[in-house]
């Protein structure tokens, strides 16, 4: 087995965290859809798909490392989004929380001297820089746009999703 029990448990928990993020992004996509903002809705649907893909990365790593997969229950996403700034602030707050979770898993891999897990986690560490930066930029644009949601929609339509543009959509 190439994964310790504690690290295995943390990665199982992260599967749930990533699935929860996927659901939260679907709620945000639904909000933007109700605001007739198709580019923003599509952007957050893609974010949802990306978070599910992250959960699957952990799933496959645990199995390949000889660990035991235990998928935790996932809480319902927080609803009640009132405006675009609130929606994107939720996304940024979530990405900051995920960054802390990823850091904790990396710290455990380091403590375990598990170089295989460290290498696996480096991808997530770098991914979080992109995620936080993207949401921070979107939040800045949303705040500047205020009630003029077409400005935010135009920005998202022009920059696309970070995976569509390796420079982060900027």
As a whole number of angstroms, the distance between CA 138 and CA 131 comes to 11
| Cα–Cα dist 63/120, whole Å | 13
Which residue carries 């859809």 as its tokens?
Answer: 33
Domain residue spans in the chain? 5-71+84-160
* pLDDT of 79 above 90: no
Q: What is the mean pLDDT of the chain?
A: 93
List the one residue out of 61, 47, 50 whose CA is nearest residue 11. 61
pLDDT in tens, 102-155: 999 999 999 999 999 999 999 999 999 999 999 999 999 999 998 888 899 999
Specify the CATH number of the domain 5-71+84-160: 1.20.1260.10
**Which two tokens mark 146?**
């205020």
Residue 164 pLDDT > 80: no
Percentage above 70 pLDDT, the chain: 94
- Which pLDDT tens digit goes with each residue over 23-39? 999 999 999 999 999 99
User: Residue 165, SS3?
Assistant: coil
Q: Go through 44-62 and write b for each residue having 16 or more CB atoms within 10 A of its CB, e for each that does not.
A: bbbbbebbbebbebbbebb
Structure tokens at 123: 């991808």
């Amino acid at each position: 087995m190439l994964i310790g029990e504690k690290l295995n448990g943390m990665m199982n928990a992260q599967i749930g965290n990533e699935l929860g993020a996927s659901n939260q992004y679907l709620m945000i996509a639904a909000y933007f859809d109700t605001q007739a903002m198709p580019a923003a809705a599509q952007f957050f649907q893609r974010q949802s798909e990306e978070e599910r893909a992250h959960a699957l990365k952990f799933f496959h790593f645990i199995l390949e490392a000889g660990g035991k997969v235990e998928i935790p229950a996932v809480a319902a996403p927080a609803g009640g989004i009132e405006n675009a700034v609130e929606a994107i602030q939720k996304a940024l707050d979530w990405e900051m929380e995920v960054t802390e979770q990823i850091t904790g898993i990396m710290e455990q891999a380091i403590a375990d001297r598990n170089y295989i897990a460290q290498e696996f986690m480096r991808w997530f560490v770098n991914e979080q820089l992109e995620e936080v930066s993207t949401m921070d930029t979107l939040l800045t644009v949303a705040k500047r746009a205020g009630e003029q949601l077409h400005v935010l929609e135009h920005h998202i339509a022009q920059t696309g999703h970070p995976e569509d543009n390796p420079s982060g959509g900027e």
